[in-house]
Structure 1
Amino acid sequence: MSVSRTERLLNLLIALLNTRYGLRRSELREKVYHDASGNDVAFGRMFERDKNDLRAMGFDVETLTDTGWSEDDPATTRYRIGKESNRLPDVQLAPEEWTVLLLASQLWERAALGAAAQSALRKIQASGQLADVELPAGVQPRIKPAGQAFDDIVTAMHARHPVSFTYLAGSTGKEEERVVEPWGLGSRFGQWYLMGKDRIRNAPRHFRLSRFTSAVTVLSKDQYAPPADFSIRAALDRLPELPLRAAVVDVRKGRLLALRSRAGAAATQVPGGPPADGFDRLVLEYRDPEVLAEELASYGPDALVVDPEDLAAAVRRRLRAAAAFSAAPIPAYTFVDVHARAARKRTSEDQLKRMLQLVPFLVHNQGLHIQDVAKHFGITREELEADLQILICSGLPEGYPDDLLDIQWEDGHVFISQDLDLKRPVRFTVEEACALLTGLETLNGLPDLPGGGALESVTLKLLAAAGEEGLQAASIAGPQVAPADADTHATIRQAIETRSQLRLTYLSPQRDAVTIRDVDPLRLYSLDNTWYFEAWCHSVSGLRNFRLDRMQEVHPNGAPAGRHATPGGGVPAKLFTPNDDDTTVIIQLTRQGRGLADDYYAERTAELPDGGLVAEIRFGSTAWLPMFVAQHGGTARILAPAELAAAASEWLAASLATYGG
């Protein structure tokens, strides 16, 4: 959509908003489109596209028909937009409710719902002032969607399109093609599930996203209607947890301390004879073979599944897929800076949506400095000035100067004196309502939320404001983010608030060692219900991240935290802190695994024709990268440095050799 089309859509919107009786198509063609081409078919197609675009942005374009008095007096069709039908109702929030809402808006780690949450928050802020609130000290809960498949399914679900994918069936262990009408997405038992109608079996089914073995294809030419009474939360409640099973695994002596800490009694009478020299036999309890297989594959030749066979087969499948991908020809690629790539993703459609948030924001925040306005919308000053230039040239068809939007910013401060009925934000889209309402529901159970029922009250207010879109938002249910160990969470939170130093006894799986460290805690954050905290580690004199479930002991050591340490960046906290001595690694990702580029903060990326990605990522330690390749089972491989790629291939070959090649 070109700049001229952006202006045309904005002028069309203003014209339809500011007419009581509606405008005929001929009037719009002459006064808004200035089209004198005589090609009525081409104009008709353009006008229909523009109406659909306005409807997609939340505006109800009404069609009014006046019947003629006789055969010689043909019917007349007029168009307008009701001024109240598209408006977001005012949402007045108390400081405690703002606190909860800000936490909910920051939950989404990445993906489309993260941008939708920020857009929804700006709409609420546009109609009033943001209260001066303080978030809980150093606490940042986050949701981590299940890769690209999550984004694709959300898009298809809200547009009512079926999807297709290949799926590893738990009952047969075979890959099968599935065509599904997506009714809902939800997290349960630490996994994301798709609920919907399996068209091949003509019955409702559930699918775990981690069992998808291909990218998701959206069947955009097809439509479906979900059941009116479907509830994703009720469906998740009926989902049975997999039974507890026991696995027999041989582990190299002195290795894999994290795995050993979960092991039970040694196995006896297992087919295949005693373990090989240098190995111990362990028994591990598990529920899902795919989850355990992902972990065991990463351990390579240091772990061998003895029993059951379906678990061993799952490990072999991952290792073989990783080896095959690593041996494939290297594709041609050209890197693009991540920030430049993000800037090019901005479309004129995004610009128009932003401008419709910009006008009401300026109305309620007169005199802000232009840099502050640009920062609020996450754009540069140049992009903001481009928006303002379009706005001041827009207005009523053939109107006088008073019929144009009037905005001034010559002294660096922005004022608006004529808003042409754009002073209230557009109602929530389904994605925006979904992002905030799912986020609020996810916060339930998080310790130290503001009291007084703020979570419940702000949820009710947003449901009322969202209307029908709020009802559709119930198609997604997030995970619970309450920490598993509330006492450890409270100890670290108190240390952050009081700026106290902590002593940790910490198990590091990558180093395969237990260490004792003194740290200055900075902030707590989560990915789903896995909690981390960022701290200045005195052992390495740098910022590090620690998982709460890997701490064997934590307590204040009596010393105050130093003043030299500050959190590494803004929201969200990063799992990996870059250092000057990091190694730059080039990794190829399939379309299914391209979300890893965001997870590991790729600095440059290159798109591939098959939907995959080549990413340039910095790693502080590279010794564990063969484990990384094996774990992701054919969705990631190392291209450079060559010695790291060779080490990963050797690791995979040795791993497969333990299973007979």
Structure 2
Amino acid sequence: MSGASTRDQLSRLLALAPYLQTRGEVPLSEVAADFGVTSAQMLKDLRVLYLCGLPGFGPGELIDINVEALESDPEGLVRIDNADYLARPLRLGSSEATALIVALRALLDSSTVASREVVERTLAKLETATEEGATPLVDVRVPEPPPALKQARDSLARAITSDRQARLGYLVPTRDEVTERVVDPIALLQNDGKTYLDAWCHLADDRRLFRVDRITAVEVLDSPRAVPDLEPRDLAEGLFEASPDDLVVRLRLSPQMRWFAEYYPVLTTAETPEGGLEVTLAVSDERWLLRLALRFGGGLRVLEPADLDERVRAVARDALRLQQATA
């Protein structure tokens, strides 16, 4: 099972027991439909839930579900027993509550109009509960974003909720230029403290991920989104998503450059006799790799494709001649 599938199943399992307790006896097909999966997948989920329970995991401590009956009658009713402890309100420790408050405050800035009310209501309940329970040791505050960044996020959130296109001014750091493009915004996402816009870019005629702090201007257009039905990207596996059009290059890294394999999204790694690494990397812009190779000099060498290695050497020779001429 892939990482994304495992995360999806975990999300369903966390919601499944309270759902079944609230609903009582429910047809398997209806449970599957409510969770957006097939009956066969829901039966697999129920088999996993059947093995969950309180520490000790004895016969009286596991959740009881009529899995065997459902296996013989897929159209039958789902019944859950011995899960009453899940109905008790969740009790959070001070550190757990603080972590949730920090996460919710960070989420508040990037939430859409539709979800903002839920986030604010949950945050208010947590803050009230922690204030009543004990005096907090620290005053948790998430730094306010710069006004330009907040304005860009608000405009993009408005475009998403109103199902409209947006015109962006976007700084492309590899070329050090600002480009103008029309996009169909899909979602605002968070990763490592940065906000990203997941959108269909009509300039590239492909899906793209834009760092919101690199957006120099946003104009919400009157035109509706032309690609409205894409699901938001899952950033749990990281930001990088290889394209079939990317160039795959093989690089040799010196022992001092081993950190490169942890910092950049390499596809494969292999040890070299001198303690360095050989890695493969998918590259969408050769100019970015040329700059990288020039920056790190002998610590990074392009092995394949050979013509790219020759271009790196040619650019390095030109740079050296220019430096000598101006010295």
Aligned-pair distance for 1:373?
7.3
Aligned pair partner of 1:408 in 55, 66, 72: 66
1:509-524 equivalences in 2 (<5 Å): 509-524=173-188
RCO higher in structure (CA 8 A, sep ≥6): 1
Residue of structure 1 aligned with 2:164, choices 500, 512, 530? 500
Q: Partner amino acid for 2:182?
A: D
Partner of 1:623, secondary structure, is helix
Question: Is the CA contact (8 Å cut-off) linking 1:588 and 1:637 kept in structure 2?
Answer: yes
Aligned mates of 1:488, 1:404 — CA distance in 2 = 49
Q: Is 1:539 matched up with 2:203?
A: yes
Q: Which amino acid aligns with 2:125?
A: V
Counterpart in the other structure of 1:24? none
Q: Which amino acid aligns with 1:406?
A: D
What is the CA-CA distance between 1:439 and the residue it aligns to? 0.8
Which structure has the larger Rg over C-alpha atoms? 1
Conserved? CA contact 2:242–2:282, under 8 Å = yes
The question of whether the paired residues in 2 share the 8 Å contact of 1:480 and 1:529 is answered with no
Q: Whole-Å Cα distance in 1 between the matches of residues 16 and 227 of structure 2?
A: 39
Shift of 1:624: 0.8
Compared CA separation, residues 360 and 545, structure 1 to 2 (3 A)? closer
- Which has a greater percent of helix? 2
| In 1, Cα distance between equivalents of 2:48 and 2:153 | 46
State how far apart, in whole Å, the 1-side matches of 2:127 and 2:166 are: 40
Secondary structure of 2:148's counterpart equals: coil
User: Pairwise mapping of residues 342-357 of structure 1 onto structure 2 (< 5 A)?
Assistant: none
Q: What root-mean-square deviation, in Å, do the aligned CA atoms of Structure 1 and Structure 2 show?
A: 5.7
| CA distance, structure 2, for counterparts of residue 588 and residue 572 of structure 1 | 29
Q: Distance in 1 between matches of 2:283 and 2:51?
A: 43
Structure 2 counterpart of 1:438, which letter?
V
Q: Which residue of 2 aligns with 1:385?
A: 47
Query: Which sections of structure 1, spanning at least 5 residues, go unmatched?
Result: 1-337, 344-350, 397-402
Please point out which of 443, 453, 457 is paired with 2:124: 457
Shift of 1:426: 7.0
The one-letter code sitting in structure 2 at the alignment partner of 1:579 is S
Describe the superposition over 1:330-384 as per-residue Cα deviations: whole angstroms up to 9, x where unpaired: xxxxxxxx947997xxxxxxx9xx9999766754464484767798xxx996575
Residue type at the aligned position of 1:458? K
Alpha-carbon separation, structure 2, partners of 1:659 and 1:430? 60
C-alpha separation in 1, matches of 2:94 and 2:270: 29
Is contact 2:184–2:228 with CA below 8 Å preserved after alignment?
no
For 1:655 and 1:574, the matched residues in 2 are separated by: 36
**CA 417–535 in structure 1, closer or farther in 2 if over 3 Å, else same:** closer
TM alignment of 1:479-498, pairs within 5 A: 480-481=144-145, 484-498=148-162
User: What is the distance in 1 between the residues matched to 2:146 and 2:270?
Assistant: 37
Letter in 1 for 2:117: P
Per-residue CA shift, 1:112-152, capped at 9, x if unaligned? xxxxxxxxxxxxxxxxxxxxxxxxxxxxxxxxxxxxxxxxx
- Counting only pairs closer than 5 Å after superposition, residues 304-383 of structure 1 correspond to structure 2 as 339=2, 362-364=20-22, 366=24, 367=26, 369=28, 382=44
Note closer, same or farther for the CA distance 1:583–1:362 as it changes in structure 2 (3 Å cut).
Answer: farther
Q: How many equivalent residue pairs? A: 293
**Consecutive unaligned residues in structure 2, runs of 5 or more:** none
CA contact (8 A) 2:187 2:232 kept: no
C-alpha displacement of 1:495: 2.6
C-alpha offsets along residues 545-588 of structure 1, whole Å, 9 cap, x if unaligned? 33444444443455333146635534669755543312335679
